[in-house]
Chains A and B, each alone.
Chain A
Amino acid sequence: MTEPFLSVRNLKTWFNSSRGPVHAVDGVSFDIRKGETFALLGESGCGKSMTALSVMQLLPSQAVGNVSGEVLLEGQDLLTLSEVAMRDVRGNRIAMIFQEPMTSLNPVLTIGDQIEEVLRRHRGLRGEQAYNKALELLDAVGIPERKQRYGEYPHQLSGGMKQRVMIAMALAGEPDLLIADEPTTALDVTIQAQILELLQALQRDSDMAILLITHDLGVVSGMVDHVAVMYAGYIVEKAARQQFFDNPSHPYSKKLFASLPNIKKRGHKLAVIEGSVPSLAQTFRACRFVERCDYAWQTCRDREPRWFEFERGHGARCHLVDTELPPHERVRPVAKAETSSALKSDLGAPRTLMTVEDLVVHFPIHKGLFKRIHGYVRAVDGVSLELFRGRTVALVGESGCGKTTAGKALLQLIQPTAGKVRYGDVELTQLSRQAIKSHRGELQIIFQDPYSSMNPRMMVGDIIEEGMAAQKVGASSEERRQRVEALLRQVGLPPESRYRYPHEFSGGQRQRICIARALAVSPKMIVCDEPTSALDVSVQAQILNLLKGLQDQLGLTYLFITHNMSVVEYLAHNVAVMYLGRIVEQGSVRDIMENPKHPYTQALLSAVPTIETSSRREIIQLEGDLPSPINPPQGCHFHPRCAHAMPECRENYPLAKILSQTHQVRCFLYK
């Protein structure tokens, strides 16, 4: 075996807070070899980004100087290098790309300038040479019209293009190691597939090592050689990819797999990790996972487990795998009984709750001397949907396709430009602002970001009660108080929570409060606008379980807006796929997942990274980006990116083709 290129030994990084030192990275060790992709996997706050920044020595100011251990780059310890010497390493031997391509590029410098900066700094290229090399790099990362792009500013590029530029910049120094910190988290799945493919292709051509930092098991399964799972500041399991996916050994890793939603778990509760990550502002005596572990026994509380490699290249920090543990400490662990109770699946015949017909939301663009309307952003451009009582419709699409606008327009939170929304025997679009208030209670919404969806200056009890007061639910304040406590219990929070403020709760708990707030007015239907996309996988499972349970219990109807396909296949009954303001395909979840017809749906599904390594699907690469909704392409909106585009696709938008009782598609391929 070759010598490791980068070897991190017992890395510790901490910073001071008002509650004492916070050990963000607490004894991390791993090796990366040339040409290898190594993933650091973990949920938010586990210290994976801090590890990368410690290697690069780009720590935020409060942590500068608080690093110990060794970071050996071909035998040389980077931590002992001076800042000046370190600058020759950064961008040259180790390059880094970041999560947010939108903010990571300098907005006032051209793309070319930012790439050439690296060429000048590390390769000594100037003038013509630098220009040619920069164009070469833009070409290498797959940027079309590179000469024009060279002189453009970052805002003129889409998110995916910006990330490509970031990669070009990183490659400019011909680094031996590329650190990619959540490089695709801010991007859509189809773009994510492009970027991951690009990274893999670049790696094949060079001997570059990649340190990939991610929270996404799917991404890990798609492209890495080795993986290390981080939890609460250290690595709990480390293995080659195959070993890890075949046999995840640490209970935390196992839980991560179990909490992922997918079609097989449909009708069952997802496994959840109870509790939350312990505070890192403490000195640990016991296993850091002990409070949340199903297998924990006395030894786990007495002693921190040591690192134990139980098969070649596969180790974990858990007493379970430690076969050399003294016998008296190896009390036979018994897993807590999984409550994998089957959920109600028999729903009977569907009954319509709401019918949406040709919903249109256009935002005018004002321009010119008198701010005359110059054009429209066609955010939603004719959407028809049917929602059934007690069922879930998933509205799926990439960012910018208009799915959130559609959801809000449905509830009349945004005034629709045209179209009908019939709820029972009421036509919502015809109601006055006052009249609609009496229906507000029945139609509720849960937002994506649990941090901004609650007023930070109100107590949780008041937040939940506000809607009840506005909708006149509950006769007396005493009655309302009791209801608030009942609701809190229903969503799994202690009733005392009502006297606390939102900032005292974690993301998942806040989302529970938001659900309680929506439930307070006894809604019939809830629009769930990406309610789990800001949450970690294990927390996502809790929320999905809760939503599913409430649906069975109360017969709620959900419009579930999401871009996450695995959530769709776990939760939804019907699926509608949106592209540029229109629904291109809709049908039952089986129709869409197993038999997608529209080329866009097919591409979308294929781009979702899966963890089933055995059944690798061929990824259908989509060219380019989502066009602007101001000026959508003539004919079928999808035709410029479609592999099957025909002449007539450029002329007209296809009409809906009914394939079966539940399944319809708008594509000329099916006539």
Chain B
Amino acid sequence: MLAYIIRRILYAIPILIGVNILTFSLFFVVNSPDNMARMHLGMKRVTPEAIENWKIERGYDKPLLYNEETGGAGALTDTIFFEKSARLFVFEFGRSDAGRDIGYDIQQRMWPSLAIAVPTFIIGLLVTITFAMLVAFFRATYVDYWGVILCVVMMSISGLFYIIGGQYLISKVLHLVPISGYDTGVSALKFIILPVIIGVIGGIGAGTRWYRTIFLEEVSKDYVRTARAKGLSELVVLFKHVLKNAMIPILTACVSQIPFLFMGSLLIESFFGIPGLGSYTIDAIQRQDFAIVRSMVFLGSVLYIVGLIMTDISYTLVNPRIRLS
């Protein structure tokens, strides 16, 4: 087991290198720092000096891969690639184009993101599984038929509309909670409730439908017939036998999402003015802050790989067939 985990982690290294090289070439090779500077400073009032200054301030004035001016190790380290890309491996994100410390920002903004994402994830999982069980219990009846249609209708609505509609209804018409904002401590609760509810509702359609197919696939298996032949009631069959088997694919799929909870939800955070990593990313994209985007790309891939490893591990833990072999 340990060897397996170590191997998976080792396997992650070339992938992260790949991600790094890809982002590096996207940001610095396809697109020269000069272009970036020109874009940031605005197209009209650009003087070569202004561009140089902009680049020096942000450390983009160095050579890309090989610095001929400095000798020895500096030839490789005093370059954009080393300073801006390779350092990401030790989670040194550097400063944003606006001059703020990205690492510090990420640490600060992680918590509001988690405050929204964790409850959304857990409540969402419980709600969708319950609905899916309900629909699976009434399979091949009208409840099932219309339940599935309702799911399709719900998943056909863009997440944007859930947010806009929810904000309008709860905050503007009913005045139940503030429309947006964030606070620390207990008073954060009133800001969290609405985003969580909207996040949960937005995920019901697709989630319920997907879990339903998993349940129905399990229901058609032979062991379910055996359980019925024992004289067990439909509820016991469903909750003990089917649920336990269906939890294997469900759990493994969910585990891969856990690391991403840190990243927060782009849309919800941005709409509700939550100072989390999601809105951080969106702001960076909108302000065209390449340094932050680059950092978030790397962070995202790290989390993805962590998710993959966790998925594999949880799968081996949950499934007795693999656990015990």
Task: Please say whether chains A and B are actual partners in one complex.
Answer: yes
Pair A91/B244 contact, Cβ less than 8 Å: no
A166 proximal to B (CB < 8 A): yes
Q: Which of A52-104 contact B (CB under 8 A)?
A: 56, 58, 61, 84, 87-92, 95-96, 98, 100, 103-104
Pair B223/A121 contact, Cβ less than 8 Å: no
A475 proximal to B (CB < 8 A): no
Residues of B close to A155: CB separation below 8 A: 320-321, 324-325
Pair A108/B319 contact, Cβ less than 8 Å: yes
A118 proximal to B (CB < 8 A): yes
Pair A103/B223 contact, Cβ less than 8 Å: yes
Pair B227/A106 contact, Cβ less than 8 Å: yes
Of chain A, the residue at the smallest CB distance from B232 is A121
A88 to B241, CA, bound (A): 19
Pair B245/A153 contact, Cβ less than 8 Å: no
Residues of B close to A104: CB separation below 8 A: 222-223, 225-226
Pair B245/A156 contact, Cβ less than 8 Å: no
Q: Which of A106, A118, A173 has most chain B Cβ within 10 Å? A: A106
Pair A369/B7 contact, Cβ less than 8 Å: yes
Residues of A close to B140: CB separation below 8 A: 61
A461 to B324, CA, bound (A): 49
Q: How far is the CB of B26 from chain A (nearest CB, A)?
A: 33
Residues of A close to B248: CB separation below 8 A: 108
27 pairs from A and B in contact (CB 8 Å cutoff)? A84-B233, A87-B233, A89-B231, A90-B229, A91-B229, A91-B231, A103-B222, A104-B222, A104-B223, A105-B223, A106-B227, A106-B241, A107-B320, A108-B319, A108-B320, A109-B240, A117-B230, A117-B232, A122-B231, A153-B320, A153-B324, A155-B320, A156-B324, A173-B230, A173-B231, A369-B6, A369-B7
A371 proximal to B (CB < 8 A): yes
Pair A153/B321 contact, Cβ less than 8 Å: yes
Interface residue ranges, B against A (CB under 8 Å):
3, 6-7, 139-140, 221-223, 225-233, 240-241, 244-245, 248, 319-321, 324-325
A369 to B11, CA, bound (A): 11
A166 to B223, CA, bound (A): 11
A169 proximal to B (CB < 8 A): yes
Pair A109/B232 contact, Cβ less than 8 Å: no
A368 proximal to B (CB < 8 A): yes
Partner of A107, one of B6, B223, B225, B231: B223
Pair A91/B230 contact, Cβ less than 8 Å: yes
Q: How far is the CB of B241 from chain A (nearest CB, A)?
A: 5
Pair A90/B228 contact, Cβ less than 8 Å: yes
Pair A121/B230 contact, Cβ less than 8 Å: yes
Pair A103/B221 contact, Cβ less than 8 Å: yes
A102 to B231, CA, bound (A): 21
Pair A100/B232 contact, Cβ less than 8 Å: no
A108 to B225, CA, bound (A): 15
Partner of A95, one of B139, B229, B240, B325: B229
**Count class of interface residues, chain A:** 35 or more
A-B contact count (CB 8 A): 84
If the complex has contacts A87-B231, A87-B233, are A369 and B226 also in contact, measured as CB distance less than 8 A?
no
- A133-157 toward B: CB 8 Å interface, digit per residue (1/0)? 0000000000000000000010110
Pair B245/A107 contact, Cβ less than 8 Å: yes
A95 to B227, CA, bound (A): 11
Q: Which of A158-202 contact B (CB under 8 A)?
A: 166, 169, 173
Pair B3/A369 contact, Cβ less than 8 Å: yes
A58 to B224, CA, bound (A): 10
A118 to B320, CA, bound (A): 22
- A496-510 toward B: CB 8 Å interface, digit per residue (1/0)? 000000000000000
Pair B231/A92 contact, Cβ less than 8 Å: yes
Q: Which of A612-663 contact B (CB under 8 A)?
A: none
A117 to B226, CA, bound (A): 12
- A368-383 toward B: CB 8 Å interface, digit per residue (1/0)? 1111000000000000
Of chain B, the residue at the smallest CB distance from A105 is B223
Pair B230/A106 contact, Cβ less than 8 Å: no
If the complex has contacts A108-B245, A108-B320, A371-B7, are A88 and B231 also in contact, measured as CB distance less than 8 A?
yes
Q: How far is the CB of B233 from chain A (nearest CB, A)?
A: 6
Residues of B close to A105: CB separation below 8 A: 223, 226
Residues of B close to A166: CB separation below 8 A: 226
Residues of B close to A370: CB separation below 8 A: 7
Of chain A, the residue at the smallest CB distance from B320 is A153
A90 to B229, CA, bound (A): 5
Q: How far is the CB of B235 from chain A (nearest CB, A)?
A: 11
Q: Which of A56, A109, A166 has most chain B Cβ within 10 Å? A: A109
Residues of B close to A89: CB separation below 8 A: 231
A217 to B322, CA, bound (A): 40
A155 to B320, CA, bound (A): 8
Partner of A109, one of B3, B225, B241: B241
Pair B245/A106 contact, Cβ less than 8 Å: yes
A84 to B320, CA, bound (A): 33
Q: How far is the CB of B163 from chain A (nearest CB, A)?
A: 39
Residues of A close to B229: CB separation below 8 A: 56, 58, 90-91, 95-96
Pair B324/A90 contact, Cβ less than 8 Å: no
Residues of A close to B221: CB separation below 8 A: 103
If the complex has contacts A106-B245, A107-B320, A108-B319, are A98 and B222 also in contact, measured as CB distance less than 8 A?
yes
If A107-B223, A153-B320, A166-B226 are given as contacts, then 7 extra A-B residue pairs at C-beta distance below 8 Å, sorted by A number, are A56-B229, A96-B229, A98-B226, A103-B221, A121-B232, A153-B321, A169-B230
